[in-house]
Amino acid sequence: MNQERLYHVVFGPHVTEKSVMQTEQSNMHAFKVSVDSTKREIKQAVELLFEVKVDNVRTVNVKGKQKNFGRRAGKRKDWKKAYVRLAEGQTLDVSAE
């Protein structure tokens, strides 16, 4: 895998109430990732960037909302979210990033 490509896969953490609860309960973190990335690329990118061991990755394609901009109808971009479960004993502090 091209290491330069891995730097463009993960955009950053996706912090919500749900993701914070999952982090506390099951050591699972949510990230906003590139739409064309695969689970294997996401796993390698998180392991490279944060120096942790990843157990598994789940992805969700989020559809953009329909919005009105004045008189024009518009649509927000579609994006991809990845839930990354870290291996036992691994920790990740995304607040410092």
pTM given for the model: 0.88
The string of pLDDT tens digits covering residues 2-17 is 889 999 999 999 999 9
The string of pLDDT tens digits covering residues 38-95 is 999 999 999 999 999 999 999 999 999 999 989 999 999 999 999 999 999 999 887 6
Angle at alpha carbon of residue 12, lines to 38 and 64, rounded to 5°: 70
Structure tokens at 88: 């036992």
Residue 42: the pLDDT is 97
Domain of residue 79: give its range.
Answer: 3-87
Say if CB 46 and CB 12 are below 8 A apart.
no
The CATH code of the domain that includes 57 is 3.30.70.330
The string of pLDDT tens digits covering residues 17-35 is 999 999 999 999 999 999 9
Residue 69: the pLDDT is 86
Number of domains in the chain: 1
In a domain, 97, yes or no: no
| pLDDT over threshold 70, residue 96 | no
Say if CB 28 and CB 87 are below 8 A apart.
no
In a domain, 92, yes or no: no
Task: Tell which phi-psi region holds residue 73, choosing left (phi > 0), alpha (psi between -120 and 50) or beta.
Answer: beta
